[in-house]
């Protein structure tokens, strides 16, 4: 067999008893890693440690894996505005959680003669989610149903979130000079301007003259 040391060093072709002796001298295990090779390849290692590390890697891989499921939301061609808004909010929730959504328009009776009504609904739904999702399967007729598939769009979601943050920051930024103008306006409001008309002035003068005559 071809023997590989624990540090990866090639030890050459060894007989099984010799390879076992070397592994035991290092207090390690002899593990076959490529039995189909000619000659077979064995490696000296701590097998218990190897298995533990392999399990940890598999565990981390499962954590990183995204469990994406396909949800379904059903609409009617003559759906009311309230029902449309309720169902559409639910679709937004699914997309936000990372799920794909199959949007189904269900036709009944004579509604089959007006597929444009279903397509119009699907276009409205797709337009609602332009900032968080994308159309992965365009609308197509499937018997009495019309189906469209939406998928989450992380790039669009990130761009939309960034835009909202920028708008919020801009709205929170005070306008230069606005505060000074407001203070000045308040000061002017505190001191009302008194305007004396000519008639009032004459009356005042007459009252002053009467007062002087009385004193005399």
Q: pLDDT tens for residues 94-114?
A: 998 889 999 999 999 888 899
Residues 50, 78: Cα–Cα separation, whole Å: 62
Task: Select from 113, 133, 157 the last residue of a domain.
Answer: 157
pLDDT surpassing 90 at residue 162: no
Examine the domain organization and report whether 40 and 76 are in the same domain: no
Residue 210 lies in a domain: no
DSSP 109: G
Using only C-alpha atoms, the chain has a radius of gyration, in whole angstroms, of: 42
Structure tokens at 18: 């010799």
Phi, psi of 187 (to 5 degrees): -65, -40
Total domains in the chain come to: 2
Residue 175 lies in a domain: no
Report how far apart, in Å, the C-alpha atoms of 91 and of each of 47, 149, 169 are.
49, 11, 29
pLDDT digits (tens, 9 = 90+) for 14-28: 998 999 999 999 999
Tell me which residue range forms the domain holding 127: 70-157
Examine the domain organization and report whether 147 and 95 are in the same domain: yes
Give the pLDDT confidence score for residue 131 in this predicted structure: 87
Assign residue 47 the CATH number of its domain.
3.10.20.80
Assign residue 83 the CATH number of its domain.
3.30.110.10
pLDDT surpassing 60 at residue 115: yes
Give the pLDDT confidence score for residue 148 in this predicted structure: 95
Structure tokens at 189: 């409001």
Specify burial of residue 119 (Cβ count, 10 A radius: 0-12, 13-18, 19+). middle
Q: Which of 134, 135, 122, 138 is nearest to 159 (CA)?
A: 134
Examine the domain organization and report whether 59 and 79 are in the same domain: no
Examine the domain organization and report whether 74 and 153 are in the same domain: yes
DSSP states along 46-82: -HHHHHHHHHHHHHHHHHHS----EEEEEE-TT--HH
8 Å CB contact between 96 and 108 = no
pTM above 0.75, yes or no: no
């Amino acid at each position: 067999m071809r023997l590989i040391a624990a540090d990866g060093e090639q030890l050459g072709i060894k007989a099984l008893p010799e390879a076992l002796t070397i592994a035991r001298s290092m207090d390690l295990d002899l593990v076959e890693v490529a039995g189909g090779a000619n000659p077979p390849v064995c490696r000296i290692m701590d097998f218990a440690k190897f298995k533990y590390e392999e399990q940890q890697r598999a565990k981390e891989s499962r954590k990183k894996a995204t469990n994406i499921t396909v949800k379904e939301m059903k609409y009617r061609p003559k759906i009311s505005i309230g029902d449309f808004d309720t169902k559409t909010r639910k679709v937004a929730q699914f997309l936000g959680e990372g799920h794909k959504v199959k949007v189904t328009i269900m036709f009944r009776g004579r509604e089959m003669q007006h597929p444009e009504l279903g397509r119009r609904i699907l276009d409205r739904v797709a337009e609602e989610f332009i900032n968080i999702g994308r159309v992965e399967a365009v609308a197509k007729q499937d018997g009495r149903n019309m189906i469209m598939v939406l998928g989450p769009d992380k790039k669009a979601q990130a761009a939309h979130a960034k835009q909202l943050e920028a708008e919020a920051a801009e709205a929170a930024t005070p306008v230069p000079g606005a505060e000074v103008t407001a203070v000045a306006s308040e000061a002017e409001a505190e001191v009302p301007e008194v305007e004396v008309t000519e008639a009032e002035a004459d009356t005042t003068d007459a009252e002053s003259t009467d007062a002087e005559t009385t004193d005399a």
